[in-house]
Amino acid sequence: MTARPHRERKLAAALPTVWHSILLAVTAAFPFAAQAWGVEAHRLIAELAETRLTDSTRAQVNRLLALEPGATLVSISTWADEFRSPITSSWHYVNMPREGGCHYDASQSCVQGNCVVGAIEHQADVLASTQPDEERLMAMKYLTHLVADVHQPLHAGFADDRGGNNYQLQAFGQGTNLHAVWDSGLIHNWPGGADALRSAVKAEMDRNRGQGTAALWAEESCAIVVTPGFYPDGRELGAEYQTRWDSTLVRQLATAARRLASVLNQALPKK
């Protein structure tokens, strides 16, 4: 066998280091690649939001969905996760400053609108505009997903632990992280299962907490994250954690559904 030239051997040896450097650079540029609320949460929020649409809004929603036969508000609720890109990845969260008292400052946390707050604001403008229906449908897909995202508390958390993704712990009999616990762990382990959770969220929707703005929603989520006990003491999450935080989970899901309905009711023209 002919020996490879020295230059080729040197390049081959360097490749692992090169690819490792590229991977690190990509990870640093897009530090929050985890999923948002789990599929179950997104679908539940969309399902319950649909019950609060006005007749006029529902007609407009169905008209836009008809561009993709078979699509429903529920089915498009996870689209933004399924088709993430390096450009849109940052639209799913906002990094709040650790020492900022959960105060949202767009100039620091949402440069050029690249955070969940800026994305919601922009997509709502597109949906309310006279742009082609194809673009407005895409805006509705993003809104249906991102309004839910901003109500997952750790989507308005802190960059230094990647919204709880780096906070490793034991929960529900397996190794996981705090972000995953809030995405789906608490939901999958809800006492009584999915039907019981749906009933609790539907009942909670009748409580009116006001509409507000996407910036306010992020600040509300951040305020949950900094509440003592949100990050559990130690690295083993017990049953008492779910007992303490189950009402918060229900409130966030219900509030997201109610506010999503309000966003769609306001953005879609009355025809």
Residue 11 covered by a domain = no
Residue 24 covered by a domain = no
Start-to-end Cα distance in the chain:
76
Residue 13 covered by a domain = no
The SS3 of residue 268 is coil
Paired tokens of 97: 């400053």
Q: Could you tell me the CATH number of the domain that includes residue 52?
A: 1.10.575.10
Q: Model's pTM, two decimal places?
A: 0.85
pLDDT by position in tens, the chain (length 271): 444 444 434 434 443 333 333 333 333 333 334 456 889 999 999 999 999 999 999 999 999 999 999 999 999 999 999 998 999 999 999 999 888 789 999 999 999 999 999 999 999 999 999 999 999 999 999 999 999 999 999 999 999 999 999 999 999 999 999 999 999 999 999 999 999 999 999 999 988 667 899 999 999 999 999 999 999 988 889 899 999 999 999 999 999 999 999 999 999 977 6
The count of domains in the chain is 1
Quote the domain boundaries for residue 65.
32-267
Name the phi and psi angles at 176, rounded to 5: -160, -160
Residue 23 covered by a domain = no
C-alpha span between 198 and 74 (Å, rounded): 14
Contact yes or no for 167/241 (Cβ under 8 A): no
C-alpha span between 256 and 205 (Å, rounded): 9
The SS3 of residue 170 is strand
Q: Residue 234: what pLDDT? A: 85
Residue 17 covered by a domain = no
